[in-house]
Structure 1
Amino acid sequence: MSSQPHPNAPLHVGDWTCYTAAPDQSLELFERARAQCPVAHSSGHDGFVMLLDYADVRRAMREHAVFSSEPQVLRPMLPRKPIPGLETDPPQHAQWRALYNAAVAPRAVAAVEPFVRADINRHIDAFIGRGSADLVDELTEPVPAEAICHLVGLDDDLVPQVRELAIAMFAAQGDPEEFGRRQAEFGAVTVTELHKRRAQPREDYLTELAHAEVMGRALDDDDLVVLMAAFLGAGHHSTTSAMTSMLFEVYSRPDVLAAVLADPALVVVAAEEALRLRPPFFGFFRRTVTPVDVAEVHIDVGTDVYLGWAAANRDPQVFDRPGEFRLDRSHNRHVSFGHGIHTCPGAALARMEMRVLLQEMLRRLPDLRIEASELVCEFGGGDYAFAAHLPVTFRPPGPDSGAT
């Protein structure tokens, strides 16, 4: 439903969407808008209100009875079923959420960590002898997909195909017809695996999912394909983006690199600061189911509202010098994993992957040099921001150094 700008939201930001501006341009626009009013309005996607301040964004994520995640959290609307859990409000939400929680329980994340560490070192082994690499293509893109596949029990030989199908599907977010075609291709492979688990159960999460029931009914193929898409989308692309940003921020700043090498405890701090400064998702949409006032601006029922996570993460009322990457933030309360009942269930998995990646990179390639003066990011598949390349050089190890 269309929304109209309110007199108390003086800055109309034109037709801003992730399809009309790059991530860096969007961050600049958010700051200009915030300076006039933390509630702005865009005519893109048939019109929507934008929340930019940290407190307002967290409030909207917390008040799901006012700001509904249904029918979808991205725009434009796509020809698909809502993503279970993510695009479902209570009371149905809890049962869908339980399916994700079972996959990413603490013991499951701990169990998969050795596999993630081995995957990271295997990829490093493949390029370390050359003295150069593109860390996106050769490391940060494949590792999260492999981690998800380990987690759910997908066979290793299917990982490259599923990864490519997922990439193509999410790249088509802005084209409903193309998205439908790509989703069908993705589903043809992933749902087939779930059907196999029904016929021949294994000791893995795919088997649990294949036999799961929600609200008293078995999951159908449409349920299964959107669930698998959610795993690969949330757990793969977003972690690739976060890993890439973290490596850029640490290795492109000599003082940060020296500090993290000297104090291994700062690995986790660096990961959290990268998530704050460069969130993989810039924001999600909600739709108001009751009228509400935000920052003295009235928002009518049925209004699409954009919750600006990237803007909230740079709110100067919460973060000192918010545009800087700093290791001295005592309590980094970023919203890059959301907030409230829809907080990303895979946050612990993503954090583990980022920690292990930086640990191994610092151990094996402490002298790595970023061959780019800035991290060039773009939007792809909704409000997902990513860098397509991260070229690096380094000194190859000597013949007696050992592989890992």
Structure 2
Amino acid sequence: MEDLAAVFDPQGMFDFPDPYPLFTELRRTSPVTSFQFLKRLAYVVTRYDDVRAVLQDGETYSSRANAEVGRYMGRTLIEMDGGEHGRMRALVQGAFGGRTLEALVPTIEALAHERVDRLAGDGRADLVAQFSLLFPLDVIAGILGLPRSDHAQFQRWSLDLIAFSKDPSRAHGAAERLREYFLPFIRLRRDEPRADVISRLVTGTVSGVGLTDDEVVSFLRLLLPAGAETTSRLLGSMLYALLAERERLARVDADRTLMPWAIEETLRWETPVVFVARQTTRPVEIAGTPIPSNTMVSTIIGSANRDETHFDDPDRFDLDRRAEDHLSFAFGRHFCLGYHLAKLEARIGLTAIIDRLRDLRFDPAEPAPAITGLAFRSPRSLPVRFDA
């Protein structure tokens, strides 16, 4: 078996080619195993039932393991537990409910078509660089009600912040600039609310108490990696899967009722976020392995979603699979607030591409694309050709 400390080295996670053979071996031989991560003891959990149980038990497995993210985002939902988490979630979840998002559909559709319009006449494109990377950031800016003239600068700051694990100094600078940028909008929306997400965040209350300016800023910053980046990766991996065997794309084009299942299967087959960290609050035992208190437990979502005891033929991308019980949006009290938005964007984005870019195919003159990464997975580029 590979040295897990080397596998989970943060500097090597971005280019990791294919972790699934390792995950299969771990599930079979060492479903819960320890390794040294950044000079501290950590455990990985790889089987579906065990991963689900850890994510469901917020009392035993604390989210404070994610406190590192707070250095860049501020204190956010993903590191909160108990009553603090419940209060914050109650305050922000209304901004991402189904009814709220339905009102945003025309805005999201217009943004998708605008992105496709920019490349449709060329006959070739990189669908990551020119669409899946930028469209989700367009959507975040749009639903926040930011001026169109600011979108390009907002995207630059956002991309710098999202890359905090690669360039911490640059990310810190972007975080501060985003704070300075957001604060005037927050104060304006307190005085003059509109039909946008910032207004919903600043006007919502629980027991008469709302969010402070800094709490709103932290949540808005978290939207970038938690909302925009994960959706970008979902779109990229879905397009890759459909183009890798073009009969899949043809089926979805001919029968749009398959589109939601293409999204669900992509989330299962290549989850954007491969593992989620927790920290034990007491000594525990998982699958016969004792784990001390105050120890990091890394649930490998990408392994759970390919557990052969839960999913048939799990390494195969199957449009006819109806596997809505994947764990890509986590489980339990920390189930992803933005799952409606992510799937809505994926559906609208894929529809715009299929409708406009006919005879879509990989560009044979370019290197074959591949999905890579360990902490986060998606293709870095998707060079394609199509009828102009």
- The 1-side partners of 2:196 and 2:50 are apart by 40
| CA shift in 2, pair 1:251/1:66, >3 Å | same
Indicate yes or no: 2:27 matched with 1:38: no
Note the alpha carbon deviations across 1:129-164, whole angstroms, 9 max, x for none: 110111112211222122222323222222222222
CA shift, 1:210, in A, is 3.0
Task: Assess if the C-alpha contact under 8 Å between 1:78 and 1:173 holds in 2.
Answer: no
Match of 2:60 among 66, 86, 99: 66
| CA shift in 2, pair 1:80/1:335, >3 Å | same
Q: Secondary structure of the residue that 1:19 maps to in structure 2?
A: helix
Paired amino acid for 2:43: V
CA shift, 1:202, in A, is 3.1
Note the alpha carbon deviations across 1:73-98, whole angstroms, 9 max, x for none: 6xx56535764322211112122112
Q: Secondary structure of the residue that 2:11 maps to in structure 1?
A: coil
- The 1-side partners of 2:312 and 2:201 are apart by 44
Count residues in correspondence.
382
Q: Secondary structure of the residue that 1:65 maps to in structure 2?
A: coil
Indicate yes or no: 2:223 matched with 1:231: yes
Match of 1:195 among 184, 187, 197: 187
Match of 2:318 among 308, 312, 326: 326
**Mean Cα displacement is larger for which, 77-86 or 203-212?**
77-86
Structure-1 residue corresponding to 2:355: 363
Indicate yes or no: 2:48 matched with 1:57: no
CA shift, 1:218, in A, is 5.3
Task: Assess if the C-alpha contact under 8 Å between 1:256 and 1:327 holds in 2.
Answer: yes
Task: Assess if the C-alpha contact under 8 Å between 2:238 and 2:263 holds in 1.
Answer: yes
Paired amino acid for 2:47: D
Structure-2 residue corresponding to 1:354: 346
1:2-401, aligned counterparts within 5 Å? 13-17=4-8, 18-21=10-13, 22-45=15-38, 46-72=40-66, 79=71, 83-173=75-165, 176-212=168-204, 219-371=211-363, 372-378=367-373, 383-396=375-388
- The 1-side partners of 2:34 and 2:91 are apart by 36
**Mean Cα displacement is larger for which, 330-339 or 366-375?**
366-375
CA shift, 1:391, in A, is 0.9
Note the alpha carbon deviations across 1:48-93, whole angstroms, 9 max, x for none: 10011111111000000101112526xx565357643222111121
Q: TM-score, normalised by structure 1?
A: 0.87
CA shift, 1:378, in A, is 3.5
| CA shift in 2, pair 1:327/1:80, >3 Å | closer
CA shift, 1:360, in A, is 2.4
Paired amino acid for 1:100: V
- The 2-side partners of 1:221 and 1:265 are apart by 42
CA shift, 1:216, in A, is 6.7
Paired amino acid for 1:34: R
Task: Assess if the C-alpha contact under 8 Å between 1:16 and 1:44 holds in 2.
Answer: no
Task: Assess if the C-alpha contact under 8 Å between 2:243 and 2:249 holds in 1.
Answer: yes
Q: Secondary structure of the residue that 1:334 maps to in structure 2?
A: coil
Q: Secondary structure of the residue that 1:70 maps to in structure 2?
A: helix
- The 2-side partners of 1:386 and 1:327 are apart by 19
Q: Structure 2 stretches of 5 or more lacking a match?
A: none
- The 2-side partners of 1:129 and 1:213 are apart by 48
Task: Assess if the C-alpha contact under 8 Å between 2:270 and 2:302 holds in 1.
Answer: yes
- The 1-side partners of 2:69 and 2:350 are apart by 37
- Structure with the larger helix share: 2
Paired amino acid for 1:186: L
Task: Assess if the C-alpha contact under 8 Å between 2:66 and 2:277 holds in 1.
Answer: yes
Q: Structure 1 stretches of 5 or more lacking a match?
A: 1-9, 397-404
Q: Secondary structure of the residue that 1:58 maps to in structure 2?
A: helix
- The 1-side partners of 2:16 and 2:335 are apart by 23
| CA shift in 2, pair 1:217/1:114, >3 Å | closer
CA-based RMSD of the aligned residues comes to 2.3
| CA shift in 2, pair 1:214/1:95, >3 Å | same
Q: Secondary structure of the residue that 1:265 maps to in structure 2?
A: helix
| CA shift in 2, pair 1:100/1:27, >3 Å | farther
- The 1-side partners of 2:352 and 2:171 are apart by 36
- The 1-side partners of 2:234 and 2:96 are apart by 18
Note the alpha carbon deviations across 1:375-396, whole angstroms, 9 max, x for none: 24346xxx33333321111111
Paired amino acid for 1:24: P
| CA shift in 2, pair 1:373/1:332, >3 Å | farther
Q: TM-score, normalised by structure 2?
A: 0.90
Task: Assess if the C-alpha contact under 8 Å between 2:95 and 2:200 holds in 1.
Answer: no
- The 2-side partners of 1:192 and 1:71 are apart by 32
Note the alpha carbon deviations across 1:225-272, whole angstroms, 9 max, x for none: 221111222110110110011111112212212322232211111111
Task: Assess if the C-alpha contact under 8 Å between 1:15 and 1:43 holds in 2.
Answer: no
Q: Secondary structure of the residue that 1:159 maps to in structure 2?
A: helix
Q: Secondary structure of the residue that 1:331 maps to in structure 2?
A: coil
Identity %: 28
| CA shift in 2, pair 1:165/1:92, >3 Å | same
- The 1-side partners of 2:286 and 2:167 are apart by 32
Task: Assess if the C-alpha contact under 8 Å between 2:269 and 2:305 holds in 1.
Answer: yes
| CA shift in 2, pair 1:385/1:331, >3 Å | closer
CA shift, 1:350, in A, is 0.9
